Amino acid sequence: MKILVVGGVAGGAGVCARLRRNSEQFQIIMFEKGEYISFANCGLPYYIGDVITDKCALQIQTPQGFGKRFNVDVRTFSEVVELDTTLKRVKVYNHQTQVEYWESYDKLILSPGAKPITPKFAGADLAHVFTLRNIPDTYKIKEFTDKQKTGTAVVIGGGYIGIEMAENLQHLGYQVQIVEANTHLIASIDLEVAAHLQNYLRERGLKLFLKSRVTEITPEFVCLENGEKIAADLVIMSIGVQADTGFLKNSGVALNALGQIIVDANLRTNVQDVYALGDAVEHLCFTGAKRNIPLASPANRQARLLADIICGSKQQYPGSQGTAILKAFDLVVAVTGESEESLQQNKINYLKSYTYSANHARYYPGASTMFIKLLYTPTGVVLGAQIVGGTGVDKRIDVLASAVRHQLTVQELTELELAYAPPFNSAKDPVNMAGYVAENVLLGKSKFFYPEDLARVQTTDILLDVRSKSEYQQGHLSAAINIPLDDLRGRIAELEPHKKIFIYCAVGLRGYIAQRILQQNGFIETYNLSGGYELYSVLASNK
């Protein structure tokens, strides 16, 4: 069987390697239009920031090394420019020799990935404006920053790559500013999680321009729709990616409106013997919806699966859930599954709860706090989670990613027995805690209200701050009265049981205890502020 593979990085190289491990009999040809194959896209920002200093480290495999190990005919500088599905062949243009030729296939695998979106505004093609996809892009930026070691840099687009670039450019000495059209950074997380990140980045000296659109880039400035001009010696455009599927336009392979390849659960396109994977395809998501999730883990998992499917396996791709993680200086932001925004868009019923937990025992030196947003169905099935914090966020998001994948309930989160010793954890892991809090809601022991509900608290209701007197004096919600939790039983007569009581404390725990005391003393309508005054303050500072 003769198998052609278009694209030589995560999906392409991955599928070739697995095909060869499955069978020594196949003839495999891999076409890559660039010079490099199997390189570490995800490491590129760190090479620019001098965190990775060894150029060779970016290349996981050379074309020669890969070809030899897996007996694959690796053709670099070879762009597939046309596909003839009737005669089962592709037209290839060699950028080095300028020769064009046809190559026939029995099976064709498409993994052309996604390229940066380049907007049409004036100045996008100036010499100090860059996008980042591959090693040549990286070297261009590096050459620029090596010559001009400091100055002002504007990153257009506050997604993962944009923020990684912002960190690395500041690391080099640039004064960095991020322009983002959306209301918050990182589209796949919700506003209150992003607010933690945004406050942190501002504290680190980055300037953020949210809800801002670029209209033009000049040699000195990035110009915004509102007339503002931001000085920029260097501009990185990272406003998202689009499937690199121009060569498939008239091929008969079905693409969606965004040019992404439509595949079924066996990663088959609509054309016989043509398969596709990776960043260029429209993924089947966990919820049954379809969307593009340009991440390395789905591409790698699909590569392995597709090689097996071609070799006769009946397995199907179970869908992507968009698990992702970002290092922004010392802060870590991570997400898995659905966000609140996506649940609302897809009209899926959900509940949410927030918890602040320490990454390990507070008494052990170096503990830090992480904020977890947990989303679940009204019956408790975990739909998604987002975490922002420091050390230990990575391990909690992976536990929650497993929970989402296997449709665990919040009750089951409480049952997980997770490794504990003081330097690593508390006896109740932050994931257990998120489960306990959500379980209390489902059991009717706790009822939440959220920062966005504060505007609906009436003057006839009671807003009750159960933190200590000194915490209250340092700052509180206007109209809140203060009865510290430990005084509540003795002062309960000061509250009228027929009124709605909106309780808050620092992060929600004392508020919950107060709620239980009041509920058991005949108070009917009590609500506890999820995330407490801490979350309220984060949102209030996010201006």
User: How far apart, in whole angstroms, are the C-alpha atoms of residue 475 and residue 532?
Assistant: 13
Q: Is 296 in the site for ligand FAD (CB under 6 A)?
A: yes
Does residue 113 touch ligand FAD according to CB under 6 A?
Answer: yes
Measured from the CB atom, the residue of 83 and 507 that comes closer to ligand FAD is 83
Q: Using DSSP bridges, classify how beta strands 382-389 and 369-376 pair: parallel, antiparallel or unpaired.
A: antiparallel
Specify whether the CB–CB gap between 178 and 208 falls below 8 A.
Answer: yes
User: Of 254 and 418, which CB lies nearer to ligand FAD in the complex structure?
Assistant: 254
In the bound complex, what is the minimum distance in angstroms from residue 334's beta carbon to ligand FAD?
11
Give the whole-angstrom CA distance, residue 370 versus residue 385: 12
Q: Pairing relation of β-strands 114-116 and 241-243?
A: antiparallel
Q: Which of 247, 449, 504, 527 is close enough to bind ligand FAD by CB under 6 A?
A: 247
The residue from 76, 111, 188, 199 that contacts ligand FAD (CB under 6 A) is 111
193 token code pair = 């999680």
For residue 522, report the phi and psi dihedrals to the nearest 5 degrees.
90, 5
Nearer to ligand FAD among residue 33 and residue 467 (C-beta)? 33
Closer CB to ligand FAD, 216 or 398, in the complex:
398
| Residue 161 interacts with ligand FAD (CB under 6 A): yes or no | yes
Contact 122/217 with Cβ under 8 angstroms?
yes
User: Beta strands 100-104 and 89-94: pairing type?
Assistant: antiparallel
Q: Is 415 helix (H, G, I), strand (E, B) or coil?
A: helix
Q: Residue 112 interacts with ligand FAD (CB under 6 A)?
A: yes
Residue 10 interacting with ligand FAD (CB under 6 A): yes
List the interface residues with ligand FAD, window 299-328 (CB under 6 A). 299
The residue from 3, 12, 20, 542 that contacts ligand FAD (CB under 6 A) is: 12
* Cβ proximity of 76 and 36 under 8 Å: yes
Shortest separation between residue 21's beta carbon and ligand FAD, angstroms = 18
> Residue 344 is which amino acid?
Q
Give the nearest distance from C-beta 113 to ligand FAD in angstroms: 2
Tell me the closest approach of the beta carbon of residue 227 to ligand FAD, in angstroms.
32
Q: Least CB distance from residue 19 to ligand FAD, whole Å?
A: 15
CB of 164 to ligand FAD, least distance (A): 7
Q: Does 292 bind ligand FAD (CB under 6 A)?
A: no
- According to CB under 6 A, which one of 285, 295, 309, 372 is a site residue for ligand FAD? 295
If binding means CB under 6 A, how many residues of this protein chain bind ligand FAD? 34
Q: Minimal distance in Å, beta carbon 142 to ligand FAD?
A: 13
Is residue 132 at the binding interface for ligand FAD, with CB under 6 A as the rule? Answer: yes
The per-residue DSSP string of 171-192 comes to HHTEEEEEE-SSSSS-TTS-HH
Select from 435, 422, 319, 291 the least CA-distant residue to 374: 435
Query: Is the alpha carbon torsion for 233, 239, 244, 245 positive or negative?
Result: negative
Q: How far is the CB of 93 from ligand FAD (least distance, A)?
A: 9
Of the listed pieces 145-153, 288-296, 370-378, 379-387, which binds ligand FAD according to CB under 6 A?
288-296
Q: Which of 42, 223, 311, 505 is catalytic?
A: 42
- In eight-state DSSP terms, residue 9 is S
- Angle separating helix axes 191-203 and 532-541, nearest 10 degrees: 60
Quick one: 112 or 123, whose CB is closer to ligand FAD? 112
**296-310 and 10-22 helices cross at what angle (nearest 10)?**
30
Interface residues for ligand FAD in 252-271 (CB under 6 A)?
none
- Which of 278, 337, 435, 484 binds ligand FAD (CB under 6 A)? It is 278
* Selected range binding ligand FAD among 107-115, 250-258, 363-371, 458-466, rule: CB under 6 A: 107-115
Interaction with ligand FAD in 24-53: which residues (CB under 6 A)?
31-34, 41-42, 44-45
Minimum distance of ligand FAD from residue 156's CB (angstroms): 15
- Residue 104 CB neighbour total at 10 angstroms: 12
Q: Which stretch binds ligand FAD (CB under 6 A): 195-203, 293-301, 397-405, 478-486?
A: 293-301
Q: Please confirm, yes or no, whether 223 is among the known catalytic residues.
A: no
Q: CB-based burial of residue 119 (10 Å sphere; 0-12 exposed, 13-18 middle, 19+ buried)?
A: middle
User: In angstroms, what is the minimal distance from the CB of 208 to ligand FAD?
Assistant: 21
- Taking the least distance from each CB to ligand FAD, the nearer of 8 and 532 is 8
Q: Which of 294, 451, 508, 532 binds ligand FAD (CB under 6 A)?
A: 294
Determine if 159 is a binding residue for ligand FAD (CB under 6 A). no
Restricting to residues 215-244, name those near ligand FAD by CB under 6 A: 244
**Tokens 């060699």, residue?**
94
Measure the CA–CA gap between 527 and 201, rounded to whole angstroms: 32
Secondary structure of 282-333 in the HEC alphabet? EEEECCCCEECCCCHHHHHHHHHHHHHHHCCCCCCCCCECCCEEEEECCEEE
Query: How far does the chain reach from its first CA to its final CA, in angstroms?
Result: 60
Contact 186, 194 (CB under 8 A): yes
| Secondary structure class of 470 (helix, strand, coil) | helix
SS3 category, 349? coil
Interacting residue ranges for ligand FAD, rule: CB under 6 A: 6-12, 31-34, 41-42, 44-45, 79-80, 111-113, 132-134, 161, 244, 247, 278-280, 294-297, 299
What residues act catalytically?
Answer: 42
